[in-house]
Amino acid sequence: MDSLHTYSSELMKKYGIKHIPIIENMWGHRFRTDQTPSIIFFELLCVIESQLQAKRAGLISSIFSPDNKTLYFKHRQFFKLRILIYQNEILETLINSDLSEEDRWERQFKYLRGINGELFQFKDEDIEHLKSSFSSFESFYNAIKILSSLTFDPLSNKRWTSKFIYPISSDYIWCDFDNRKSTEDRRFFCRGGELAYLMLCRAGNEVCGELEKYFELWLDKQDNSFAKLANLLVREEERIQLREESRKDLGYLPYQKLPIFTDFANDLSKVLSLELERLDKVKVMIDMVGYHIGNYVLSIGETYHKSPNPAELKKPSYLVEVLSKATNSIRKSSIQSISAQRNKLKRSLTLRADEIIDLYEDVIDLEEETERINKSKEELSYAESYLASHISNYSNVCFRQIGFLSKKNTRSYRYVLTEDFLHSLVVTILGNEKRVEFSNFVKQLRVQYSIYVDTSPDNERELIQRDLNRNSKNLASLLYQMGMLRHLSDACSYVINPYREDSV
Amino acid sequence: MIWKQNKWIKYLEGYCQGKNQIQDEYVRKVASSLGLGEPLDIQFEWQKQITQQFEPEDAHGVIILTGTAGDGKTKLCRDIVKQIDGDSFDEDKWNAKSYFCSSERTIVKDFSELQDEKSLVIQELLNVLVNGVSNKPILIAVNDGILVEEIDNFILTSQNEESEKRASQLKEIIEDKINLGFSNCEQQELIKLINLSKLNAKENFSLILDEIIEHSGWEGCDSCEGKITTTCPIYNKYNLLKTQKNIRDNLSDIILLLQLNNEHFTIRELLNLATNTILASTPKAKHLRATKKDTNYPIFNCTRVSKANSFDEFDYESTVEVGFWGMNLGQHKMNNARPYSEINKLMFGELSTNHWDNYLKNKSERKIAIPLDDFNDLFNSKKANDLDIDSELWGAIVRRSRIQLYCYQNGDNKALDLQKFSSFSYFKSMVFDELQERDNCHNIDLISLIVLALNRIFHGRYISENTGKDRLYIPEKDQGSITPISIFHGDEIRDRDIYITKVKGDFELTGSRIEPVIVFDIDRNTSLKLSLTVELFDFLYRISKGSPPNTTNPRLYKKLLIFRSKLASQISNTSKLSGKRIETYTIKDGEFRTSTLKVNHG
């Protein structure tokens, strides 16, 4: 029987990893808690855009293929636009000054020409482009202000090269960068997006084909005002193909094929196919990325906590509370389940670590037996520490950001259905359907996402049926509050797709 | 003089009990066992109209009667069959089965009671779609959702692709009609759906109340001590409702208000409401009692009344509003059991205006008297605390007095200010009354109000009346339904392309309720609709007067942002302006305007 996973003994060399890559062989290289679902999504789009260039250059046959493991193009950098939006400190001074139009432009251009760094400095062509695009300084100012209003997490203190605009078109896809060292780094683009990309590549031919079609459309030249503004501000960036020796390896994903990869791809494909506005699609896709990555991390724990070589993937179940003031059996069970899931992650590490350590004999190849044992223990200890810092908590990080996990009204985290996440679930479950009967919707939550609202996962005895019934009612009430439920009669309600139904 | 036991009251009491007791078969049995010559038999005009569909010998076609449990589907089925069969109608045979199928007709009395026959019925419906015609009359009574669920099961177990396709088509037609009242699917005209939930509950309530009041059963109270001495609270309320038609109208106007907010009340619920209004005893919760009068039972009957020790305080405590608002049933049922839960959501008595508070205090300026007028001095005292009145008692007196003012007033235009939706009177006159007479409503002031409010909601800015009334600014596509502020302007819809109309179902039944919708004509072939409930209208009204959209009603605000998104998507498909300029929204000199960004497109 084929194993679910493939261990690699090459990771240390390939990625310059200093310790035996135990965690990397179990969950992949890699996830870090700094990389929230939104940043994963930005990195994912960067990778997809690069692979699109590779496809156009004839270097790969399709964007999503299980054979794709290399990056052939440098990520989009688009520094000029980023400088105009985030590093143009003189702009406010100029717009508020009494200077003439000409003087304002002159000062602005002088500033842009004087920026340090070959990558960041505005050349004559860039200045000419600006001059020819805008007939007034005020328009130029307004254009920049408009784009900066689309900044993701605008109040954060991140360096300007780690600030992103919602990627509603290819004009706003760019990589994370260390402006001091003038090099791409892994501060925020930790490879989580690369792993997400690899998952999509291993989803299955049919859905990969659909994804490719939709992402190509997404990355096509757009005709909307946002795209026009970007084009007016900066020239098109030349896409640089990497020399063969400089091509980068994408991250490492230890699983060739898992059903959750297909689920992930199907959800993204569905969202992209909808007649939704782009900004809304971005929000829903980020939520789906957050759910599926978090679910992946926990699924590995769920699958491997009893056996180092299981036959099939097991998914965790999520007992959710629809936020209520009073505590109940659902809340208690949900809190306990999070603790149980974390323990499974630890146990799965314990079960599999030795097999992985054995692959790296040369690292623990020491003369004395005790030294070998100590070295193994040291490596395991490091892995446990990494697990605790970056893996155990990672699903919490993902779920918290999307509104699937909360501490509200309690002291511990438990799974919840907030409006934001519920909105994304309604969009992905209904897709292009106008409506679905409420009990079917609840069933789909269970079947597609292992989200339990009105029934007990694994027949937990602690759950009280009355609490489950009330939970279901609260869900109906919340959907109604959101304008996504229509009551028809005592036993019949429909979850409606507000983007498709005519009447509100 | 003696207290009589009126069988008619006993019969009415049955309608105040649980739901099962108001099944059609059961009430007929009860009437028969009580020896009542005629039970309550209300002739709804819509029943006659539907029955007429089946009268012609060559009447073919599918009619699905759907609705909530208690809407009268089964009774209507029986009446139709009885009308057609005439003397040969067999009551016992009718009661024994739920499914009657022959080459001449198919009648399904209650779809949920069928077992294996369910798939036969579905197959018959599919055959109609396949053949494009029905060869016999098919009448099916089924609750919302159950038929769709069965079609779903049929699709799941189907092994025939064509069958599956037809079943999906049938499901879409039925679901559309249940949810929206109409369907644009192919062959939808072959499946007529009468959703009894879409009937006019206000009219039904009026008919029910009138029928109860006019029933000859009240003659059984003649020569009863309670009637002669005017001490019987049941008879007093009956008499009040009989002699003061305005009270009946006022109560049914509340049903209208709720109905225009897409609330539906079944016949069963209305029967329960009407009988509870007459038979209610005293408020159960202390904080709703104006006196110390307490009874141990929620409703009166002849036996209980005859055993009362004194009748002094029943005039205050057992009044019409106690039963209509469900105060006799206790706080839990008032807030959770329909129809009382819906009526109490309107917050009657908790809200007031200066007009009504003055009326309450100044008895002499009123033409109407209310039972709690005996407490009028309290309203004119400086503070309730000065008189050392329990705050709960004071609250009860104030609240119930306001409700009584509403119930007893006769044609006061401001009557409906005493509840949550302060603009309802305006809505009623400008929208509802207009649509009763006409199909569409183009009133310019009304449309301007709607346009101004939507502009303020869509653009997250306080837009003045000068710039926001005559055209609806639609943002450019792709700015999302989640962001409140739109930046780029897409296109406009002029006020002349916006109007109000009503949903039209398969049948124009007498007694169909009016469901207003706002229509936005994007072009000759494309329009979007927005259901205009009282709640939505009240929200728009308040926004047009300056309330902030996001906090006034967050739920509706989000829904309308999604609607903005739909408009933006639709309009971008047809706009002639797309691609030509970059237009943004700005505030200039205090006025909201579109402004073209001065750029060179090359």
Alpha helices in A220-255 (DSSP H): 225-233
Query: Do residue B69 and residue A492 have CB atoms under 8 angstroms apart?
Result: no
CA distance linking residue B235 with residue B182, whole number of Å: 45
Q: What is the pLDDT of residues B105-114, one digit of tens each?
A: 899 988 888 8
CA distance linking residue B447 with residue B434, whole number of Å: 14
Asked if B130 and B171 sit in the same domain, the reply is yes
Where among B363, B396, B418 does a domain terminate? Answer: B418
* B584: contact with A, CB 8 A cutoff: yes
CA distance linking residue B137 with residue B118, whole number of Å: 17
Where among B145, B170, B198 does a domain terminate? Answer: B198
Q: What is the model's pLDDT at position A503? A: 52
- Which site among A234, A276, A480, A502 would you substitute to test the B interface, given the most B Cβ atoms closer than 10 Å to its Cβ? A502
- Cβ(B302)–Cβ(B4) under 8 Å? yes
Asked if B232 and B376 sit in the same domain, the reply is yes
SS3 content of chain A, % helix, strand, coil (to 5): 55, 10, 40
Token pair in block for residue B7: 């069988």
Length of chain B: 602
Asked if B271 and B405 sit in the same domain, the reply is yes
- Cβ(A265)–Cβ(A204) under 8 Å? yes
Q: What is the model's pLDDT at position A67? A: 93
Asked if B239 and B184 sit in the same domain, the reply is no
Asked if B228 and B192 sit in the same domain, the reply is no
* Beta-strand pair A485-489/B106-108: unpaired
- What CATH number is attached to the domain comprising B174? 3.40.50
What values do phi and psi take at A188, rounded to 5? -115, -35
Q: How many domains does chain B fold into?
A: 3
Where among B167, B198, B229 does a domain terminate? Answer: B198
Q: Scan residues 233-262 of B and list those with Cβ closer than 8 Å to A.
A: none
* Beta-strand pair B137-143/B61-67: parallel
How many CB pairs below 8 Å do chains A and B form together?
140
Asked if B504 and B456 sit in the same domain, the reply is yes
Asked if B173 and B221 sit in the same domain, the reply is no
Q: Nearest Cβ partner of A435 from B179, B568, B602?
A: B179
Q: Which residues in A lie closer than 8 A to residue B563 (C-beta atoms)? A: 498, 504
Q: What is the pLDDT of residues B442-459, one digit of tens each?
A: 899 999 999 999 999 998
- Which site among B174, B582, B583, B588 would you substitute to test the A interface, given the most A Cβ atoms closer than 10 Å to its Cβ? B582
Q: A409 Cβ partners below 8 Å, 6+ apart?
A: A323, A324, A325, A327
Indicate the helix (H) or strand (E) that contains B458: helix B444-459
If one counts every other C-beta atom within 10 angstroms of the C-beta of residue B467, the result is: 18
List the beta bridge partners of residue B446.
none
CA distance linking residue A44 with residue A52, whole number of Å: 12
Looking from the CA of B447 toward its CB, the CA atoms found within 13 Å total 20
CA distance linking residue A29 with residue A20, whole number of Å: 12
Per-residue pLDDT of chain A (504 residues; tens, 9 = 90+): 468 888 888 888 889 888 999 999 999 998 999 999 999 999 999 999 999 999 999 999 999 999 999 999 999 999 999 999 999 999 999 999 999 999 999 999 999 999 988 889 899 999 999 999 998 999 999 999 989 888 888 888 889 999 999 998 888 999 999 988 888 888 899 999 999 999 999 998 999 999 999 999 999 988 888 889 999 999 988 898 999 998 999 999 999 999 999 999 999 999 999 988 898 999 999 999 999 999 999 999 999 999 888 889 999 999 999 988 888 999 999 999 999 999 999 999 999 998 898 888 887 777 778 888 888 888 999 999 999 999 999 999 999 999 999 999 899 999 999 999 999 999 999 998 989 999 999 999 999 999 999 999 877 777 789 999 999 999 999 998 888 998 876 568 899 998 888 654
Asked if B225 and B268 sit in the same domain, the reply is yes
Asked if B169 and B302 sit in the same domain, the reply is no
Q: Is B302 exposed, middle or buried (0-12, 13-18, 19+ CB in 10 A)?
A: buried
Asked if B270 and B411 sit in the same domain, the reply is yes
CA distance linking residue B413 with residue A285, whole number of Å: 52
Q: What is the DSSP letter of A252?
A: B
Q: What is the DSSP string of A409-467?
A: TSSS-EEB--HHHHHHHHHHHHTT-SEEEHHHHHHHHHHHH-EESSS-GGG-TT--HHH
Query: Do residue B562 and residue A486 have CB atoms under 8 angstroms apart?
Result: no
Asked if B337 and B288 sit in the same domain, the reply is yes
CA distance linking residue B351 with residue B421, whole number of Å: 10
Q: What is the model's pLDDT at position A504? A: 46
Q: What is the DSSP letter of B374?
A: G
- Cβ(B150)–Cβ(A467) under 8 Å? no
- Domain ranges across chain A: 35-251
- Cβ(B76)–Cβ(B64) under 8 Å? no
Q: Which residues in A lie closer than 8 A to residue B530 (C-beta atoms)? A: 503-504
Q: What is the model's pLDDT at position B585? A: 86
Q: Nearest Cβ partner of B481 from A139, A149, A280?
A: A280
Q: What is the pLDDT of residues B149-206, one digit of tens each?
A: 889 889 988 888 888 999 999 999 988 888 887 888 999 989 988 888 888 889 999 9
CA distance linking residue A491 with residue A233, whole number of Å: 57
B79: in domain = yes
Asked if B192 and B281 sit in the same domain, the reply is no
Q: Chain B closest CA to A135's CA: distance in Å?
A: 6
B59: in domain = yes
CA distance linking residue A442 with residue A424, whole number of Å: 14
Query: Do residue B480 and residue A280 have CB atoms under 8 angstroms apart?
Result: yes
Greatest Cα pair distance in chain B: 102
B469: in domain = yes
Token pair in block for residue A219: 């990355």
Query: Do residue A142 and residue B584 have CB atoms under 8 angstroms apart?
Result: yes
Please state, for a pLDDT cut of 70, what percent of chain B lies above it: 93
- Cβ(A416)–Cβ(A405) under 8 Å? yes
Q: Is A221 in a helix, a strand, or coil?
A: coil
CA pseudo-torsion sign B109, B115, B121, B126? positive
Instruction: State yes or no: cis peptide before A66, omega within 30 of 0.
Output: no
- Measured torsion, CA atoms of residues B591, B594, B600, B601, in degrees rounded to the nearest 10: 170
Query: Cα angle at B13 between B8 and B14, to 5 degrees?
Result: 105
Q: Which residues in B lie closer than 8 A to residue A482 (C-beta atoms)? A: 555, 558-559
B225: in domain = yes
CA distance linking residue A306 with residue B118, whole number of Å: 47
B33: in domain = no
- Cβ(A127)–Cβ(A112) under 8 Å? yes
Q: Nearest Cβ partner of A437 from B69, B145, B481?
A: B145
B208: in domain = no
* Beta-strand pair B137-143/A405-406: unpaired
B576: in domain = yes
- Taking 70 as the pLDDT cut, the residues of chain B under it are 18-28, 37-38, 55-60, 382-388, 506-511, 575-580, 601-602
* Beta-strand pair B191-195/B61-67: parallel
- Kindly report the pTM of this predicted structure: 0.87
Token pair in block for residue B235: 């008879």
Domain of B565, in residue numbers: 426-596
Query: Do residue B483 and residue A279 have CB atoms under 8 angstroms apart?
Result: yes
Indicate the helix (H) or strand (E) that contains B311: none
B507: in domain = yes
Q: What is the model's pLDDT at position B462? A: 83
